[in-house]
Structure 1
């Protein structure tokens, strides 16, 4: 018996403008921006900074570097001497933030691969892949929010950050990044649960064959 591909009936088929494919594609663009902001927050050493006019000095802490205008250089941070005595707690917490942000990058990379697999795959992946994708994207947001919160806690409670210090550019990048990720996770969940099944095709017999039977 010969078969042809024809659109499914309207009771099982959705051809509206807002489809899962569109939601996946749109949130992927936003998530790529989130990924870029995460990388920038790690690379740019400006999580916490201090600036004074007289004398003109500028200091900043990154996750892995510490910079000073007095020497016009950046050095590795935290170093071994920073992790002894009273500085041990701060050192441990700061390194934890570095680990969390690196882990967030790994999770985001997995999320991007998942996006691409779903978009390049068939209808089955688009219908069922939302739960794993939203899990990975949401996890990356939680990890970044945890790292950002630790830095904010240290900023409020560490004596080294006296009046004049401020949470700077990289901290803001991290904040925006996990907010973007959280939005993407929510949008994917809503699309997966609310949007109807996309239009597909099914095999039906040719009319000639039906007439014979």
Structure 2
């Protein structure tokens, strides 16, 4: 009787720990996904500030270019205005496509997390494999987009001297790094979990 009660208590604790891990992962990844979406839509990947006394800001987003002196934004890049340098527009659009792809994969990962959290213990015990893969897949296109923008920043003559990285670039970097860390946490929690972490019939 005592052994049976001990087994039951241990199983309940393992189930609780499993669910707790997924809840923590859910909120961490929600933060990563929010940064992904912010970087995607906020037109602040690069910024150029003119020297005083004529202070103005020009910010470059994946889809828009904004200038503070006019107070408006325009699509970016535009074929006849911004694509004079060979390969620039193609690479910039590749970066935006990467961020869109990451947003789609991130949405699927969130749905997968919710489904796993609401499923039985057997599925939760095995759900880490698919979820950790989705987290890595969420990180890869963001890292690629960041790399493309960094390459253009360092090599393209389309940007003024003094242009620097802005908030969206930083958000994208934090987002993909956080997704990789979350995937690692999930894998470690599964691999280093107690032996009876997997399903046992009571």
Point out 4+ residue stretches in structure 1 off by more than 6 angstroms.
none
> Displacement of 1:198 after TM fit?
3.6
1:91 and 1:31 map into 2 onto residues whose CA distance is 31
2:136 and 2:198 map into 1 onto residues whose CA distance is 28
User: As a proportion of its length, which structure holds more strand?
Assistant: 1
2:20 and 2:55 map into 1 onto residues whose CA distance is 51
Q: How does 1:182-193 map to 2 (within 5 A)?
A: 182-193=180-191
1:54 and 1:167 map into 2 onto residues whose CA distance is 22
Decide whether the 8 Å contact of 1:14 with 1:199 is kept in 2.
Answer: no
> Displacement of 1:71 after TM fit?
1.9
Q: CA RMSD in A?
A: 2.3
Decide whether the 8 Å contact of 2:76 with 2:82 is kept in 1.
Answer: no
Aligned to 1:208: none
Deviations 1:60-116 (A, max 9, x none): 1000000112322100111221465x4341100000011000000000000001100
Higher relative contact order (CA 8 A, sep 6+): 1
User: As a proportion of its length, which structure holds more helix?
Assistant: 2
1:152 and 1:43 map into 2 onto residues whose CA distance is 18
> Displacement of 1:200 after TM fit?
6.3
Q: Secondary structure at the match of 2:146?
A: helix
Aligned to 1:129: 127
Larger radius of gyration: 1
2:164 and 2:28 map into 1 onto residues whose CA distance is 28
* Bigger shift: residues 156-165 or 143-152: 156-165
> Displacement of 1:14 after TM fit?
7.1
Q: How many residues are paired up? A: 196
Q: How does 1:148-163 map to 2 (within 5 A)?
A: 148-163=146-161
Q: Secondary structure at the match of 1:15?
A: helix
> Displacement of 1:199 after TM fit?
8.2
Q: Among 93, 103, 106, which residue is 2:104 paired with?
A: 106
Q: TM-score, normalised by structure 1?
A: 0.84
> Displacement of 1:137 after TM fit?
0.6
Q: Secondary structure at the match of 1:46?
A: coil
Q: Secondary structure at the match of 2:58?
A: strand
Q: Among 85, 88, 91, which residue is 1:90 paired with?
A: 88
Structure 1 gap segments, 5+ residues each: 1-5, 204-213
Deviations 1:110-159 (A, max 9, x none): 00011001100001111111110000011111111111111111111111
> Displacement of 1:20 after TM fit?
2.2
Match status 1:173 vs 2:171 = yes
2:139 and 2:15 map into 1 onto residues whose CA distance is 29
Aligned to 2:70: 71
* Bigger shift: residues 102-111 or 177-186: 177-186
Aligned to 2:139: 141
